[in-house]
Structures are given as C-alpha cells and as structure tokens.
Chains A and B, each alone.
Chain A
Amino acid sequence: MANENSSFQLLANGILKENPIFKLALSMCPAVGISTTVINGLLLGTAVLFVQVFSSVTISALKNYIHPRIRIPTYTLTIATWVTVIDLSLAAFFPLAYAKMGIFVKIIVAFAIITMRLEMFACKEPISDSFWDGLGMGLGFLVGMVVIGFVRELLGSGAILGYDVLGFKPLLFFILPSAGFFVVGLMMAFFNWIEVAYAQRKKG
C-alpha cells in the first residue's frame, strides 16, 4: 500500500493541517494544565514526540502479526511500554523538570492523539511513512505546546525561557492554573478568525 504523499507532506500535515492541539482538539489536558512556561511545553512535547514516533514504528512493523480484533489493546500496551521508557528516563536524567510535570508524563498513555494515529495511519502504512507521520504529529503537538507556553509566559510573567524580556507583567492572570482554559480558548478563536479573514480576502 504505497502512499502518494511525500515524507515532507506527511510531516507538514501533522504540524499545520491536522495540528493535534488547535485543529483536532485532542490531548488538551497538558495544553491547559502545565503550559505555563515554554520549557514545560518543550519537555512534555518531546516526550509525546518520542512516544508517538516509536509507537507508530512499532505498530507499523508488527501490523501483519496483530489480529484485528485485539488491535486496540495491542496499541494500548505498546504505548504504555514506550511511556514507561520515557517516564523512567525523564525521572533519571531530568529529575527537577520531571517533578514539575508531575503526573502528566504518565498520562501520555491515555492521549487520544497517539491511539488515533495508530488506528488511522500506522496499522495500514509502511514503516517509513508511519515514522514521518508520527514525527509530524509529535512535532505538531510540540509546536502547539510551545506556542501556548510562549503566550502564557510572555503575557503572564513577562519572560521567555525564564529570561525577563518585558520588564513588567502585562497579564498576571495568564500564569494562574485556571487561566489555561481561557488562553487555549482565546487562541483557538484567534486562529479561527485569521482563517475566516483569509478565506474572505481570497474570495473578494
């Protein structure tokens, strides 16, 4: 089953056209919960990228040996294995950042986006395509997390990556935990607005 899309198209699809956070609105929990700084977004995004790529490749490599009726439990166990790997590695190599992210690394196992990509893509396509698709989706999630973290950190504490750039705090509210909902909602509305404006200009 050859896929006519090039690897670059597969990569871009995950980042732009089907961005997991802004377009598909899947796996929102960390986007709301711990996206207060860029570095948090970067770390959790990397963890998801790792799990997504390795799960996609594993399922794609084993797809001929998996009975269709038990495919969902197989996906779940594959994801759980790779999440355990990244969970233990992060705890060993980045203990401080890991403590900050708390339970969210372990929660990756229940992310709908990873199971969805396995079900819709990796179980049908060859290994190389699955790799690029997984990489695109993971990067899309990473970009989404970093963008939200960037907005929240810049407006909430006037800093980027911990460095004070503005010198004042424009909207302290954005750094509060419950503001995550507002930030994500407002950003989604903003992207919708750009899309509508763009479509109208193209027409008129």
Chain B
Amino acid sequence: MIGTKKLIFLAAALFALGFSSLAQAAGLVASTEFGAENEIIVSFSHGVDLGEAADPDRYTVFEEADPDIRLAITNIDVSSDGKQAVITFADPLNTTQTHIVNTSGIGGVAKASFSVSKSYIGYLFSILISALLINNFVFTKYLGLCVFFGTAKRKETAKGMGVVFTVVIVVACSMSWVLYNYVMKPFDLNYLQIVIFIGLTSLTVQAVDTVLRKVNPVLFKSFGVYLVLVIANCIIIAVPLLMASNEYNYFETFMLSLGAGGGFLLALYLMSSVSERLELAKIPPSFKGLPIAFIVAGQFAMAFLGFSGLQLF
C-alpha cells in the first residue's frame, strides 16, 4: 500500500519536471515565474535591447481561459544586462490560472508567445491545501455532519474514524476516476454517476472490511466499527462528483481525495478536543449535548473563514 503511494508520488514528480520544461517557448525566453502578487518575472536566454524590453506596448498578457481580457501592465523593469524583465500589473494576478504572454519585436524576434504557470507540484499541493483548509468539507461546505457530530466526542474515536475515512475515500476515488474516464465517459453513461459512485463506495467499504478482517484482526477490532459509518458520510459521494464535474486527472483526484479525508480527520480531531473539555464545563441544561456542539462547530466554521485566500505556492 505504502509502496504504491510512493511510486505515484515519484511519477507525479517526474511528470511535473517534464511538464514545466516543455511549457517554455524555445529561443527567446529561458524561464518565467510569478513574482510578487502582481508580477511576472521573465528571464531571456540572451541580453535584449533595454528600450525594447521596457516598452509595455510590446507585451500582451492574458489568462489562458479568457484570451479577450487583456491584463493592464503598469510598469516593466529590465535588469541592466537585459536578461531579466519584471512585468508589473495594475491588479493582483490569479496565479492558479496559466497566463499567456505575447511579445512583439523584442530581442530581434518578431513575435513570441510563452506561458507562465505555477509548477505542477505546486498546483497539486494547492488542490490538497484547498480541500484540507480553505474549502474544508465539514466547516465550509457543511457536508458529512451526521457522522461528524456522532463521532467527535472522544479523541480516540475521532482518530480512528478519520484514518479509516481517509483510506476508504482515497481508494474509492481512485476507482471512481478509472471508471469515470474509461467507462462512463466513452459510453455516455454520465446520468448513472450517482448510482455508480455510491455503488463503488459500498464495494470499497465491503472490500476493506473483508481484507482487514483476514489480514490484520487486531487493526480490524479497533477500526472495524467505523467502516459502516463511512457509507453514511456525504463527503464520500461529494468528492467523486466534484472530480467528475471538474474533469480532474488522476493526480488531481488523488490530492483532492487526500485533502478531503485529511480535512475530515482534522475537523474531527479539533472538535473532539473541544468536546472533551466541554464535558467538564458548566453548560445550561437545554444546551447540553448537540446544541452546544453545533455552536462550537459554528465558531470553528467562522475561524476557518480566515483561511480563504490562502496561497502557499
């Protein structure tokens, strides 16, 4: 199990390296990257004429998805050897999008076009962080609450449930991805999405149950009870549906499901820590039990709003 995961990571890393080096236009431009929030840094392969390179009229920049919306350039700084130009924009850039830069008449090349994007690994991690914190499925998407409130009473239970859920969701999403891309899309079976995804999930739960019972009875004793609850968790069906509507590739799907599972584990652990303290607190009788749990969850939800706009890569 761990061996396969490492292999997948390795494959992702190699893929990313190949991807980023292919993306550059041959010749004029050596490398491009995003600088501060409204900057693009372009490195030229040889020194270019300073006057030409500093002329904003010679550049057109737009997001790959919206070629009609030209981004307004306020300033261009060219280093004294003419090898690097920093393009500053009027507004902060959306660095999750690939940007296209067209140049005309710079460095003796009539027209050149190149793309600026974050490295693929960074993009994958941004999906993971997004599912884990920014769009946490429990606190900002309000999914999986039945199981969440049911199992967030003891830290031990929270850990068990979270780990089992993460394993099941990663396996189930991987299978869903294969089925979605190689069976449902070619045969136009998209209307069967719900039936197939929930069926696959029950199948995964049943398979994990059977395998774990034989392979590791000790682990099964401590984690077996949570397996039944996994199927009653809305997140398990929400993630494959998101994967299908966003047309994710395998690595993106893997990161999304890992983030969803990890986010659920994080939410459960935070909530159970508070619940253990709540038992010692003096709570008005009508608030005991679920009402106070809801109010604590509401406070967590407000705290998680603070993660919106977070960008690590």
Contacts and interface: CB of A to CB of B under 8 A. Distances in A.
A185 B194 contact: no
Interface stretch (B31-39, B138-146, B159-167): B138-146
Contact of A185 (B139, B202, B292): B292
B294 A181 contact: yes
A26 B286 CA distance: 19
A189 B290 CA distance: 8
Contact of A76 (B144, B191, B198, B292): B198
A102 B69 CA distance: 28
Nearest to A115: B232
Contacts of A76: 198-199, 202, 231
A84 B192 contact: yes
Given A88-B191, A112-B146, A188 B294 contact: yes
A161 to B, nearest CB: 23
Interface string A156-179: 000000000000000000000111
Nearest to A194: B286
Given A29-B143, A192-B286, A106 B298 contact: no
A72 interface: yes
B78 interface: no
Contact of A25 (B142, B237, B242, B290): B290
Interface size class of B (residues with CB under 8 A): 35 or more
B238 to A, nearest CB: 6
A80 B295 CA distance: 32
Nearest to B295: A185
B232 A109 contact: no
Contacts of A29: 142-146, 234
B237 A107 contact: yes
A33 B198 contact: no
The interface residues of chain B, by DSSP majority, are classed as helix
B241 interface: yes
B198 A28 contact: no
Contact of A184 (B202, B231, B237, B294): B294
Contacts of A110: 198, 231-234, 236-237
A107 B234 contact: yes
A189 B241 CA distance: 35
Given A107-B238, A109-B194, A110-B234, A28 B146 contact: yes
Contacts, number: 119
A27 B234 CA distance: 9
A196 B288 CA distance: 12
B238 A77 contact: no
B174 to A, nearest CB: 19
Contacts of B110: none
Interface string A124-168: 000000000000000000000000000000000000000000000
A33 B143 contact: yes
A180 B139 CA distance: 11
B287 A189 contact: yes
Given A103-B238, A115-B232, A80 B194 contact: yes
A185 B241 contact: no
Interface in A185-200: 185-186, 188-190, 192-193, 196
A181 B142 CA distance: 9
Interface string B190-225: 011111001100100010000000000000000000
Contact of B305 (A32, A178, A181): A178
Contact of A77 (B191, B199, B234, B298): B199
Contact of A189 (B143, B144, B199, B286): B286
B297 interface: yes
Given A80-B195, A192-B291, A28 B145 contact: yes
Q: Most B CB atoms within 10 A — which of A73, A181, A196?
A: A181
Interface in A73-110: 73, 76-77, 80-81, 83-84, 87-88, 103, 106-107, 109-110
B195 A81 contact: yes
A178 B306 CA distance: 12
B101 interface: no
A106 B145 contact: no
Interface string B225-246: 0000001111011100110000
B295 A182 contact: yes
A189 to B, nearest CB: 4
10 contacts: A73-B202, A76-B199, A106-B194, A110-B231, A178-B301, A180-B142, A185-B295, A189-B291, A190-B286, A192-B291
Interface of A: 25-29, 32-33, 72-73, 76-77, 80-81, 83-84, 87-88, 103, 106-107, 109-112, 115, 177-182, 184-186, 188-190, 192-193, 196
Q: Which 3 A-B residue pairings sit nearest by Cβ, starting from the closest?
A: A185-B294, A181-B298, A33-B142
